[in-house]
Amino acid sequence: MTKKELAISFLKMAGSGDVKTAYEKFIAPNFIHHNQHFKGDRQSLLVAMEEAHKMSPNKSIELKKTYEDGNTVITHSLVSKENQDIAVIHIFRFENNKVVELWDLGQLINKDSPNENGLF
């Protein structure tokens, strides 16, 4: 699989609630992340993702754009939940076909936005 395919597979698996399996398959043991709401280690984000799925599971995740450059993959996704849609950008850094570093940035989609171009 390409790094792009690995990133997409991770997002789809983790986004559907199979977080532990996604971590085992795609995330390196020395993984770090940059989500400001949680400690930067592997276990903290795994637990946060599992809890988020229990509290507010995703209805779907639709990859709109994916870019790969060397060891970096960037995805732009539409995440749909029960009462909200979110535009999300993930930046993955890979080593040996495992994710070693992750950035994730999300923005709630305002259905009444005056911007006719939308977030995608």
**Positions of the chain with pLDDT lower than 70, given as ranges:** none
**Alpha-carbon distances of 37 from 11, 28, 32, 41, 104, rounded to whole Å:** 19, 21, 13, 12, 11
Residue 90 is predicted with a pLDDT of 98
Say yes or no: domain 3-108 is CATH 3.10.450.50: yes
Q: Please report the pLDDT score of residue 33 as a whole number.
A: 98
pLDDT of res. 13: 97
Give the DSSP letter of residue 43. Answer: H
DSSP state of 59: S
pLDDT of residue 96: 97
Per residue, the 3-state secondary structure of 88-116, as one string, reads: EEEEEEEECCEEEEEEEEEEECCCCCCCC
Q: What pTM was estimated for this model as a whole? A: 0.94
Predicted local distance difference test score (pLDDT) of residue 27: 98
* Residue-level pLDDT at 11: 98
Q: Which residues pair with 94 in a beta bridge?
A: 99
Give the single-character DSSP code of 80. E
Residue ranges per structural domain of the chain? 3-108
Instruction: Look at residue 72 in the predicted model and tell me its pLDDT.
Output: 98
